[in-house]
Amino acid sequence: MTDDERFMLEALKEASKAQKKDEVPVGSVLVLDGKIIAKGHNQVELLKDATAHAEILCLTSASAHLNDWRLLNTVLYTTLEPCCMCAGAIIASRVKTLVWAAPDIRVGANGSWIDVFEKKHPIHTVEIRKNVLEEISSNLIKDFFKKKRS
């Protein structure tokens, strides 16, 4: 098992926490020097806040943990392709690497809908690896919405 798979499994555990709270099952973990320093899962419904995405909550937690908004040399693992808001937060917080699992055709901002990362940023570039454990993440989301519709 690769490090990407190992940490994505941890993000998937966070996604399961969201699902148990009747939230869209998306989870994120932030890794620094091979250790998870922050976790997050969707809490949009619970907090009645459209910005309470897994990635945002994870980045906020990491900033508090490090007492710094600059999350240099970190790797963010997230189970769904980030939206524009989350992509912007990833760039602004200087995350070094983004690893995501499943594409999001509705609002994915790494090529599924638009690509926020394709334009060269003046001060920061994010390394990206995608489709890590895609099928597991995709099935989790599909199952969630099937149950919602029935």
Positions marked catalytic: 55
Please, what sign has the CA dihedral across residues 45, 50, 54, 56? Answer: negative
Overall size of the chain counted in residues: 150
What's the CA gap between 40 and 16, in Å, rounded?
11
CB 128 within 8 A of CB 104: no
| CB half-sphere exposure, 61, CA atoms < 13 A | 18
Residue with tokens 């906020």: 60
